[in-house]
Structure 1
């Protein structure tokens, strides 16, 4: 694989929500390797600090960490103030998310809000807060949001997430027009199957958490985190300076076979007893926030 120039993101400072684990951590690692400065936020300060220490050892650069629950607008504003106090931010990556499988008619208002609060409201708080700071300071900027295939096609049993991510897709297109004259770009990526610790078993219970099979993917494999990170690096770099309002799919062709994730067909046939067993296996009902 041809590598990007090692200074592709030199001079850019990136803030990643949910940057301590999973895809956010993979993106942060790649951005640092391409010369960026990095700040990461999430709810668990100990996890953030452990990731920052790992990156410090690997790249010799300090990574700023800020604890933040993005569901709380006041917490978001405090986090953005802290990030900017260290140095201006050039790129915001909306990565933090929460999701779980459930029969939609059984969802309580609290369960709905647990997903919408992170995926939709939290992303909107971060985006508008960052945009306000860029506009007030007359600075350009780039927002990259991580969507899901369900944002484009819908998905059973994860309806709140599909609703939220579809809203972020609409936000990306809308603000690309509204903020374009101010030098602010908004783009999104739509990943297919990129397994992370915990997520596979939580959202694809009919496929082994450590399974290597990728049902419904024409390329017949899961994506590698670095493949997604490379796409994200390109989209936030100056090489993509004329791309805005786009949501780019990276799924190995999965959406062209119907878009449903592995196991949905099996879940459609589950009985109430099957669902009861599934609920009993979950440590707590609610979304897992990054």
Structure 2
């Protein structure tokens, strides 16, 4: 019985690929499947491209998104605006912001304000928040999405390189949060804060140590304020995205495209994430539907984190020699 059980378990390591390939033709989710690489299981995990909340979920609310001109920030601004929010997007590049604001507003019919802000500079943050309140009112949604990153051996980092990332990610998030939070406390208004970090904020990671350190600090800040500022009507939550293709991020951390091939092999769902998936989770966490979600850190990565963490997860790549050794072990076990 024990030997038969072992054989069944080892056989199952190889069965899923055949099963998935056979059954894919029966799957119909009504959405366009994003196929990446040659992983057959992606047919089971198609990304949904449309917003999931009711159209008026953010009617009458103001949303402030840093890093909102491009990438994930733009995607979240699009979703919030389509759900009725009056959005304000912020970054250093005013021309990019204005173009994005006009693009989103023309699609959704709702106001989108472009506010120039360098999150590293407390004076710039203060001016941006004052402008936000002047043109739109106090925000009820604040998304700290502005980020910076690059890949480098840690021993090659200069103090300025370290400071560049930590100033944007950790200090920038803190400056925005403190400035907005103080204004909300004075006005006796509540709000939902959301920070976008990364799965390696939890584990750490070589070659991106400034980013890992800063993102971990952001998570500590959010959990601390979830406990402290709940009495003021504020909630704080975090999304840890896995790999999502955006022009800015991938041009810096994977300019050759080689790393993406590695990612696709180790993500159990077989594909990268999409901006729309992050936007849907973000809008839920910032909505009244999530009014009891506070201090949460939610991983959205297709299972990549747990796939890397499991000691024996690479058994899906068992070689013939390893299989023969296991068969020999089974025979000996049966004989004993």
Normalising by the smaller structure, the TM-score range is: 0.7 to 0.9
Contact 1:193–1:214 (Cα < 8 Å) also in 2:
no
For this pair of structures, how many residues does the alignment match? 260
Residue 99 (structure 2) aligns with: 50
TM-score by length of structure 1 reads 0.86
1:74 aligns with 2:74: no
* Separation (CA, whole Å) in 2 of partners of 1:191 and 1:210: 15
Instruction: Report the Cα offset of residue 203 of structure 1.
Output: 1.2
Contact 1:198–1:209 (Cα < 8 Å) also in 2:
no
> CA-to-partner distance for each residue in 1:135-184, whole Å, 9 max, x for gaps?
11111111100011111110110000000000010011100011011111
Q: State which of 207, 231, 238 in structure 2 corresponds to 1:181.
A: 231
Residue 268 (structure 1) aligns with: none
Residue 243 (structure 1) aligns with: 293
What secondary structure is seen at the aligned counterpart in 2 of 1:258? helix
Contact 1:145–1:188 (Cα < 8 Å) also in 2:
yes
Instruction: Report the Cα offset of residue 3 of structure 1.
Output: 3.1
Instruction: Report the Cα offset of residue 202 of structure 1.
Output: 1.7
* Separation (CA, whole Å) in 2 of partners of 1:91 and 1:189: 15
Unpaired runs of 5+ in structure 1? Answer: 260-290
Q: State which of 19, 24, 30 in structure 1 corresponds to 2:79.
A: 30
Residue 321 (structure 2) aligns with: none
Contact 1:201–1:209 (Cα < 8 Å) also in 2:
no
* Separation (CA, whole Å) in 2 of partners of 1:119 and 1:213: 24
Contact 1:212–1:221 (Cα < 8 Å) also in 2:
no
* Separation (CA, whole Å) in 2 of partners of 1:167 and 1:10: 33
Contact 1:144–1:188 (Cα < 8 Å) also in 2:
yes
Instruction: Report the Cα offset of residue 62 of structure 1.
Output: 2.2
> CA-to-partner distance for each residue in 1:203-226, whole Å, 9 max, x for gaps?
135635887972311000011111
Instruction: Say which is worse superposed, 237-246 or 250-259, in terms of deviation.
Output: 250-259
Q: How does 1:61-100 map to 2 (within 5 A)?
A: 61-86=110-135, 87-100=137-150
* Separation (CA, whole Å) in 2 of partners of 1:203 and 1:129: 31
> CA-to-partner distance for each residue in 1:72-117, whole Å, 9 max, x for gaps?
0000000000001112211110000000000101100000000000
Unpaired runs of 5+ in structure 2? Answer: 1-47, 310-336
* Separation (CA, whole Å) in 1 of partners of 2:166 and 2:182: 22
Instruction: Report the Cα offset of residue 194 of structure 1.
Output: 0.9
Contact 1:217–1:253 (Cα < 8 Å) also in 2:
yes
Residue 172 (structure 2) aligns with: 122
Residue 302 (structure 2) aligns with: 252
Q: State which of 137, 146, 165 in structure 1 corresponds to 2:196.
A: 146
RMSD between aligned residues: 1.8
What secondary structure is seen at the aligned counterpart in 2 of 1:16? strand
1:194 aligns with 2:244: yes
* Separation (CA, whole Å) in 2 of partners of 1:3 and 1:114: 36
Contact 2:194–2:238 (Cα < 8 Å) also in 1:
yes
